[in-house]
Amino acid sequence: MEIRGGPWDPSLEGRTKTMKLSIALLGLLPIIGCATYPVTDLNDPGIRQIARDAVLYEGPELVAVVGYLQAQRSLGDEWLILAVELTSRRGNKAIAISRGDITLRTPDGRRLTLIRQEEYRSNFPRLQIPVERSLRTLPLLYRFEQDRAPCGRWFFVSLPGEIAFDEVTVSSFQACSGPLLFKVRGGVQPGRWRLVIELEESRANIPFVLE
């Protein structure tokens, strides 16, 4: 006589293994969910998380990508480096953006300005590698605005003989890109940061979260 359901029954053993596997997979679901891109803030108009460490801003005048991978790796450091691409909305007029139009708001409410090209040059030996690492994440904007040509102007340059500009002009045919560098007294801290760009008719308010 065959007795099924005993301790050595292969079919029962198989069902037990299946049940254990199912429980294990259910336990992994929250972990898998946490592995998706963190959302900066769904209440911020025009903001989309397009990579784990990059956001896309689409405003009435400006379209921008802000990559903050290097900033994420620099917690506690005095330098915060962003990899940024700027262009204008399709059909809009060209936009002139000056160095003084760009600021960074810290989690504790401080307002930081861009460092000068001279300060960047004097600190270049320690900034070169972090800047190069930050720019490896670009380009990202081409996924959304594929017909933009590079503008060839930026606020910071690394090589001797290149010219750093205090103003760049972006249009619906061109995109300007490069690093933005800020010096943070007390070191880069986790929390919600905002890159702010003052424009002629609007303000680009671009949040990102360091954690």
pLDDT one-digit tens code per residue, 13-62: 443 444 343 333 334 333 333 334 444 444 678 999 999 999 999 999 99
pLDDT at 38: 47
Return the CA Rg of the chain.
24
Name the one residue in this structure whose structure tokens are 């994440």: 137
Residues 6+ away with beta carbon under 8 Å from 105: 111, 112, 193, 194, 196
Residues 6+ away with beta carbon under 8 Å from 174: 87, 148, 149, 150, 151
Q: Are 94 and 161 in contact (CB under 8 A)?
A: no
Quickly count: other Cβ atoms within 10 Å of residue 61's Cβ: 17
pTM of the predicted protein model: 0.79
Mean pLDDT of 59-69: 96
* Rounded-to-integer distance, Cα 33 and Cα 40, Å: 16
Distances in Å between the Cα of 1 and the Cα atoms of 4, 13, 50 are: 10, 20, 64
| Strand ranges inside 60-173, DSSP E | 62-67, 79-88, 95-98, 102-105, 111-113, 149-150, 167-170
- 104 exposure class (CB count in 10 Å sphere: 0-12, 13-18, 19+): buried
> pLDDT tens digits, residue range 99-145?
999 999 999 999 999 999 999 999 999 999 999 999 998 999 888 88
pLDDT at 43: 62
